[in-house]
Structure 1
Amino acid sequence: MKLSDLWNWNGAIGRRTYLLWGVILFAVKCNLDRFLFRHVFEASWNLLDYLKWNFPSPSLGSPDTLRQHGWQLLVAALPFLWAGVVLTIQRLRSARLPLWLAILFVVPVVKWFLFLLASLVPRREVPPALEPPPAPLPGSAWRVFPRSRMGSALAAVGISALITVAITAVGASVLQNYGWGLFVGVPFMTGFLAAMIHGATQVRRMSESLTVAALAVSIAGAGFLLFAIEGLICIAMAVPLALPLALIGGLAGHSAQPARWRNGSPQVACAAFLALPMMLGVERLGDTEAPLLAVKSSIEVNAPPARVWRHVVTFSELPAPTEWLFRAGIAYPLRAEIQGTGPGAIRHCVFTTGPFVEPIEVWDEPRLLRFGVTANPAPMQEWTPYREIHPPHLKGFLASERGQFLLTELPGGRTRLEGTTWYRHHMWPVVYWQMWSDEIIHRIHLRVLRHVQALAEAG
């Protein structure tokens, strides 16, 4: 180990040096963050905070505090990011793996796979382009896989898909954890293993590796449906995230395919098996608080606020939806009922899957109706070949906490009607799933607002 390893882009280091530097830098970074949080920012800090999607926001408290101290955290993190990328490039060069894999060092969850991969693959002296593809070594575990292109592809797709279904069943149904490990780590691992298995006995072209990676994650999706782990709607929602990650995993697996190397391949395959259970388990232990999100939608009504108010508090049965989203199974509102008037009254917004129970908190007629939410129905009715399924995410993983209707008087006897929902969803990456949940809630808002508009304008 040399100090120059931390800035020398042109060097090459072994796996032991890489692992030691990784442990040392991680320990230094943890202690530096602990010092900054506790003695400079006067905030809490915990090792498991690194697993939170929006670290360091929860630890710093308010967004204002984050804006105030964010630059200090960035300055403190940059040297470690630099050193991590430099060390990874040197390790990849030593292992004769593509240097572009260092990009994965900045990808959440995937970087742990990369770290394990780089820590396990031994030094390789001869570049793959100059080394003839060897046959599997006697006694090698890879010799059990077929040598033919079709047989190898079938084995790669089948085995990796089966492993994916099993890990997903444990993560979703047993651990009930819909985090980075499940939605980022699992697809990456699926593509990685498929490409590794396909390249076990013969060197495969990149197009072949990517094909088996895509097929493996697709067959795994069908397995989720077959074994009643998930329904078709959620599988379809996950495809835009899972498929690219599987292809990235396929690229990584293609670079490390066993037929190209005589040493190190079993260690590479072990990386996926070691990283995923560790990630899923640690995520389950981490107390990751979901962010409070808000969706606002508005519409202008050709009626005065007093008339609009009557149809906001309670409204009649809505017509059948025409939007494909609701016809596909997403829950949608049917009617609204209320018991009592004023603060403390209980409003029920009845959806196709059950009622939202909404105790009134602010009754400012005809301007503002604000309510909490004490009960949430399931967000959808899953498409499944079975009578019904009950994946854990249908209960509490997408939960509304409060809502309001704001009526603003406009010139000409018109009203701007604005609906807002505050909610949390416990699925990561938050940014990806928020795109879906925000759009769904916005469509629900528009369905209600347009119905209220029609009722109010009709008198």
Structure 2
Amino acid sequence: MDETASDIERQDESVLFHWTRWFWIDGPVSRYEYVVLGFGLALLKYLIELSVFVILTGRFFTPLNFLNPWLNSKAGVLDAYPAVAMGWLLFTLPFVAIAVSMSVRRAADAGWSPWWGLSMLVPIVNFAFMAILSIAPGRDRALDAIADEERAQVSTAFAPPAISDHPNDAFTRRLSEREPDQPAAAMAAIGIGCAVQVIVGLLSVWVFREYGFVLFFTTPIIAGAISGAVYNRHCAFGLGGLFGLIALMNIASFALMLGVGLDGAICLLMAFPLLWPLSFFGGLAGRAISVARLRYRDERRGMIGTMLLLPLAILLEPFDDHRVLHRVDTTVVINAPADRVWEQVIAFPEITERPAWFFRLGIAAPIRARIDGEGVGACRYCEFTTGPFVEPITVWLPPSPSSKAGRLAFDVAEQPQPMREWTPFSGLHPPHLEDGFVSRRGQFLLEPMPGNRTRLTGTTWYDIDVRPRLYWQAWAAPTIHAIHCRVLDHIKRGCEERSMELIPAVLERSRSETGELSNAR
């Protein structure tokens, strides 16, 4: 028996560096493989992130920064490099997939329910879980094989008698050869997946008021895993059917969320690109757990335990309080002097140009700006389709004749909702419309250029309280840039049209002055 276990351990070590096996969810993982591979991949990831961090910032990326379970703690470092931030998020996902795959199989190897491997998706809890898995002994696989054979013999002995070929038994034979009821399995899988996503969503949003990592990352994976396991509980259906099942489960979940007033259609559609891939990965994990485990082993307890991890994970969300101030700059060059641009910056007339399609869908779009007073302490009101921004002036520096730059800066004392949600409920205001996106301050910088031109730069500082912030920042930054462009382009047109109107008067005055000089001579 010891020789058999040693042979199995040596086989595990021999396939340790077969990287294609890292993503599998079928097959055991020994303590040796779990520790060596886990530590090796973590070290590799840390060294890569350290190198990028040092090159970009010149500062040291400590191991504590690396082990910080909250993704948002790194967002401030990467904010100045949005392409790097999104690349880092995509770079992290394969490591998460490997960690989940290895933990699911290590849990099964230790004799636990493989569902506990999904504890890797709960911050802080995952460190304790990995430590336990690293020391938990594996079950004796040789004894397991004998026990499996004995159970199979018992199952065969108590199986119903074989059906004869007698014509009277034709009906019974047709029942025994009946295909598994795939539609019923699919409906059950979709129903339980929807229930998990909607219940966790209601708890997270309306009870705890948290748009966090659990809602947008952990929940879709676990809901997909449960759906995949239920769908394949009695028969291993193909991956194509699983993909369609997860898609239908997400569509049904979103429709139900819209129907119960959990959120509006715009935000649900924005979340779809994030939730669908994660839930499909979860579906693969659930299918593998269901197919790999023998039919007589009941995994319902492990599945229910995994569901109970979600409320626990929501309680940990407040620890992720790393709100970071992000910045968006947009620049245009205007063929007009800076003093004329200043007049349009402090207050501009109504924008009559047709807004872009996403503004017409409900995203707040700028309309006009007016100012009450002059100098520091004055208040500027920038009106949007959803209401006005109230902007107390903090810096008032008009451009001077000596070609010095002008600057208008302001805080944001009040702001309207960032969008009008599509919802069947009148007056629905999900919490994220109040504090999910907050504009903190802004400014306009006017820099005189040769040729009587002006470089105008608009800047907005904002923060996001919806996680993962790196994903939602990818939506927020382009939207703010589009708002900037709508305002700056309007100012540019207004200034340049006025310059064109003044050209005839300037030419006439120039001719008059030239004539007077000629007469004097």
- Structure 1 residue 276, shift from structure 2 partner: 1.4
- Of the three residues 414, 424, 440, the one matched with 1:401 is 440
Structure 1 position 420 matched with structure 2 position 459: yes
Give the match for residue 216 of structure 1. Answer: 249
Name the stretch that deviates more: 431-440 or 192-201.
192-201
Q: Is the 8 A contact 1:398 1:423 kept in 2?
A: yes
Give the match for residue 417 of structure 2. Answer: 378
Q: Aligned AA for 2:452?
A: G
Give the match for residue 171 of structure 1. Answer: 204
Give the match for residue 184 of structure 2. Answer: 151
Give the match for residue 29 of structure 1. Answer: none
- Structure 1 residue 18, shift from structure 2 partner: 8.4
Q: Is the 8 A contact 2:348 2:370 kept in 1?
A: yes
- Structure 1 residue 174, shift from structure 2 partner: 1.3
- CA shift digits 1:246-301 (9 cap, x unpaired): 100011011011685232522441343132111111113x1512211000111111
Give the match for residue 280 of structure 1. Answer: 314
Q: Aligned AA for 2:450?
A: P
- Of the three residues 416, 427, 436, the one matched with 1:388 is 427
CA–CA distance in 1 between the matches of 2:362 and 2:261?
A: 17
Q: Aligned AA for 1:196?
A: A
- Structure 1 residue 207, shift from structure 2 partner: 2.4
Q: Aligned AA for 2:313?
A: M
Q: CA 1:456–1:13 in 2, change beyond 3 Å: closer, same or farther?
A: closer
Give the match for residue 486 of structure 2. Answer: 447
CA–CA distance in 2 between the matches of 1:110 and 1:193?
A: 23
- CA shift digits 1:357-411 (9 cap, x unpaired): 1111111102100111111210000011232311100001100111000111111
Name the stretch that deviates more: 392-401 or 153-162.
153-162
Give the match for residue 91 of structure 1. Answer: 106
- The aligned runs of 1:29-428 (5 Å cut-off) are 50-55=68-73, 88=103, 91=106, 94=109, 112=126, 125=144, 148-257=181-290, 260-261=293-294, 262-263=296-297, 265-284=299-318, 286-319=319-352, 321-366=354-399, 367-428=406-467
Q: CA 1:338–1:415 in 2, change beyond 3 Å: closer, same or farther?
A: same
Q: Aligned AA for 2:109?
A: S
Q: Aligned AA for 1:381?
A: R
Q: CA 1:84–1:225 in 2, change beyond 3 Å: closer, same or farther?
A: closer
Q: CA 1:428–1:415 in 2, change beyond 3 Å: closer, same or farther?
A: same
- Structure 1 residue 215, shift from structure 2 partner: 1.4
Q: CA 1:273–1:105 in 2, change beyond 3 Å: closer, same or farther?
A: closer
- CA shift digits 1:310-334 (9 cap, x unpaired): 0000011111533111001000111
Question: Which structure has more helix as a fraction of its residues?
Answer: 2
Q: Aligned AA for 2:317?
A: E
- Structure 1 residue 209, shift from structure 2 partner: 2.5
Alignment RMSD (CA, Å): 4.4
Q: Is the 8 A contact 2:75 2:469 kept in 1?
A: no
CA–CA distance in 2 between the matches of 1:109 and 1:203?
A: 32
Q: Is the 8 A contact 2:119 2:309 kept in 1?
A: no
- Structure 1 residue 223, shift from structure 2 partner: 0.8
Q: CA 1:382–1:404 in 2, change beyond 3 Å: closer, same or farther?
A: same
CA–CA distance in 2 between the matches of 1:148 and 1:225?
A: 30
Q: Is the 8 A contact 2:336 2:495 kept in 1?
A: yes
Give 3-state SS (helix, strand or coil) of 1:256's partner.
helix
Q: Is the 8 A contact 2:75 2:324 kept in 1?
A: no
CA–CA distance in 2 between the matches of 1:222 and 1:112?
A: 32
CA–CA distance in 2 between the matches of 1:280 and 1:352?
A: 34
Q: CA 1:51–1:378 in 2, change beyond 3 Å: closer, same or farther?
A: farther
CA–CA distance in 1 between the matches of 2:111 and 2:240?
A: 20
Name the stretch that deviates more: 418-427 or 383-392.
383-392
Q: CA 1:417–1:105 in 2, change beyond 3 Å: closer, same or farther?
A: farther
Q: Is the 8 A contact 2:120 2:129 kept in 1?
A: no
Q: Aligned AA for 1:269?
A: M
CA–CA distance in 1 between the matches of 2:121 and 2:307?
A: 19
Give 3-state SS (helix, strand or coil) of 2:459's partner.
strand
Q: CA 1:235–1:56 in 2, change beyond 3 Å: closer, same or farther?
A: closer
Q: CA 1:326–1:87 in 2, change beyond 3 Å: closer, same or farther?
A: closer
Unmatched segments (≥5 aa) in structure 1:
23-40, 64-80, 139-145
Q: Aligned pair count?
A: 394
Q: CA 1:339–1:10 in 2, change beyond 3 Å: closer, same or farther?
A: same
Q: Aligned AA for 1:382?
A: E
Identity, % of aligned pairs? 36
Name the stretch that deviates more: 386-395 or 232-241.
386-395
Give the match for residue 26 of structure 1. Answer: none
Q: Is the 8 A contact 1:191 1:212 kept in 2?
A: no
- Structure 1 residue 96, shift from structure 2 partner: 11
CA–CA distance in 2 between the matches of 1:341 and 1:449?
A: 21
Q: Is the 8 A contact 1:298 1:416 kept in 2?
A: yes
